[in-house]
């Protein structure tokens, strides 16, 4: 192709034949190729027709976009504190499944099942408030800000409300027109998966073991339904669980077969369940992790050193969480005409 052969076989407009007169003899081939080398990033971008995500993407098209999202996230947090946790969970479930493209938000439609129906999405809520944010943006800048960017920026702002770090996040994502429901179970790690499987899944989106440990620190906030960990309590308690904690958990989850529709749950972080902090790591080192993946995180030789370091240093945890979340937020985004700007985050635009 022209874009990769340009220095090997110069053609117009860089061909020496195109340069008339004595000047042609004064320009060595190496200089021409060096000049072309400097232009190569632009040439590749032109040939691919694809640009990258960028900071302040909406600075001209919708200058107040990020401010509006932040205002809505803060307002919703003061009315419904758990929305901040939902935003953090949303970005994980959306971006781990093929692309950060807001496919998670699509409702059922003829011939298309919603990702929200997956077993991996059990317990997820507050999707309706995404459209609250979307409506505020549509009032200011109709058809401009994507639902995928709302997912990313609401997570960023939610992290801050939960006491986490401030993260500078790029924008410019477009929205998927289809759901990836058939891929959710294979792409979202299960809480009963082996640590090697979990690490492999995160590695596939560019997140290393250190970043994986940090992102699982998201279990520091929110709650975990009994149905996800009762197998560690009944009929016999998992010996890796702290015995005193087992008794507490049995009081929280008295039945070995809890009703999935019942609101029965416990928390990984009992002391600060609405704060994204390193107490989660201290808890799992003390044998109080609720999920198998929590306990394996503390015991696996590949992850245990990071768990211990994060348990000892909250700033280090926040730094690694920021780094990993940024990588996740930029996983294979749809750009330009690869996607669309949905009018309603629940449905693809009508053709």
Determine if residue 200 is labeled as part of a ligand binding site: no
Residue 230, number of CB atoms within 10 A of its CB: 18
Task: Give the span between the Cα atoms of 238 and 241, in whole angstroms.
Answer: 6
Task: Give the span between the Cα atoms of 3 and 14, in whole angstroms.
Answer: 12
Contact between residue 32 and residue 16 where contact means Cβ atoms under 8 Å apart: yes
Locate 58 and state its tokens: 């909406």
348: left (phi over 0), alpha (psi -120 to 50) or beta: beta
Q: Which of 78, 93, 191, 245 is catalytic?
A: 93
Locate 21 and state its tokens: 């007169």
Contact between residue 209 and residue 303 where contact means Cβ atoms under 8 Å apart: yes
Determine if residue 264 is labeled as part of a ligand binding site: no
Contact between residue 184 and residue 114 where contact means Cβ atoms under 8 Å apart: no
Locate 130 and state its tokens: 């995404």
Task: Give the span between the Cα atoms of 171 and 174, in whole angstroms.
Answer: 9
**171 phi, psi to nearest 5 deg:** -135, 180
Contact between residue 327 and residue 100 where contact means Cβ atoms under 8 Å apart: no
For tokens 């008339």, the residue is 20
Look up residue 104 and give its DSSP letter.
G
Determine if residue 219 is labeled as part of a ligand binding site: yes
Which residues, including other chains, have CB under 8 Å from residue 139's CB and lie 6 or more apart? Answer: none
Task: Give the span between the Cα atoms of 94 and 337, in whole angstroms.
Answer: 20
Dihedral over alpha carbons 92, 94, 99, 102 (to 10 degrees): -140
Which residues, including other chains, have CB under 8 Å from residue 146's CB and lie 6 or more apart? Answer: 102, 173, 174, 175, 339, 341, 342
Determine if residue 103 is labeled as part of a ligand binding site: yes
Q: How many CA atoms does the CB half-sphere of 162 hold within 13 Å?
A: 32
Determine if residue 269 is labeled as part of a ligand binding site: yes
Determine if residue 189 is labeled as part of a ligand binding site: yes
93 is catalytic: yes
Determine if residue 313 is labeled as part of a ligand binding site: no
Known binding site for heme b: residues? 219
Known binding site for substrate: residues? 189
Known binding site for Ca(2+): residues? 94, 97, 101, 103, 115, 269, 272, 277
Known binding site: residues? 94, 97, 101, 103, 115, 189, 219, 269, 272, 277
Catalytic positions, please?
93
């Amino acid at each position: 192709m022209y874009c990769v052969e340009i220095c090997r076989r110069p053609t117009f407009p860089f061909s020496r034949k195109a340069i008339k007169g004595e000047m042609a003899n004064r320009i060595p081939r190496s200089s021409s190729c060096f000049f072309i080398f400097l232009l190569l990033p632009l040439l590749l971008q032109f040939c691919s027709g694809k640009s990258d995500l960028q900071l302040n993407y909406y600075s001209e098209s919708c200058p107040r976009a990020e401010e509006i999202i932040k205002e809505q996230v803060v307002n919703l947090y003061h009315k419904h504190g758990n929305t901040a946790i939902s935003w953090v969970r949303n970005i994980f479930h959306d971006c781990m499944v093929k692309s950060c493209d807001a496919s998670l938000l699509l409702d059922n439609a003829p011939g298309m099942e919603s990702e929200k129906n997956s077993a991996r999405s059990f317990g997820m809520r507050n999707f309706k408030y995404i459209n609250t944010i979307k409506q505020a943006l549509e009032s200011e800048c109709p058809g401009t800000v994507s639902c995928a960017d709302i997912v990313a920026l609401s997570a960023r702002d939610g992290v801050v409300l939960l006491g986490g770090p401030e993260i500078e996040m790029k924008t410019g994502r477009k929205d998927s027109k289809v759901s990836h429901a058939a891929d959710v179970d294979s792409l979202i790690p299960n809480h009963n998966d082996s640590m090697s499987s979990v690490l492999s899944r995160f590695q596939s989106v560019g997140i290393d073991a250190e970043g994986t440990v940090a992102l699982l620190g998201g279990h520091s906030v929110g709650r975990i339904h009994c149905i996800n960990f009762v197998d560690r309590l009944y009929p016999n308690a998992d010996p890796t669980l702290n015995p005193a904690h087992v008794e507490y958990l049995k009081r929280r989850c008295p039945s070995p077969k809890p009703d999935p529709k019942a609101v029965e749950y416990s928390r990984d972080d009992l002391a600060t369940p609405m704060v994204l902090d390193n107490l989660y790591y201290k808890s799992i080192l003390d044998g109080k992790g609720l999920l198998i993946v929590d306990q394996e995180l503390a015991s696996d030789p590949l992850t245990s050193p990071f768990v211990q370091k994060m348990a000892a240093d909250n700033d280090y945890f926040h730094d690694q969480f920021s780094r990993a979340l940024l990588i996740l937020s930029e996983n294979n985004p749809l750009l330009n005409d690869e996607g669309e700007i949905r009018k309603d985050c629940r449905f693809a635009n009508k053709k």
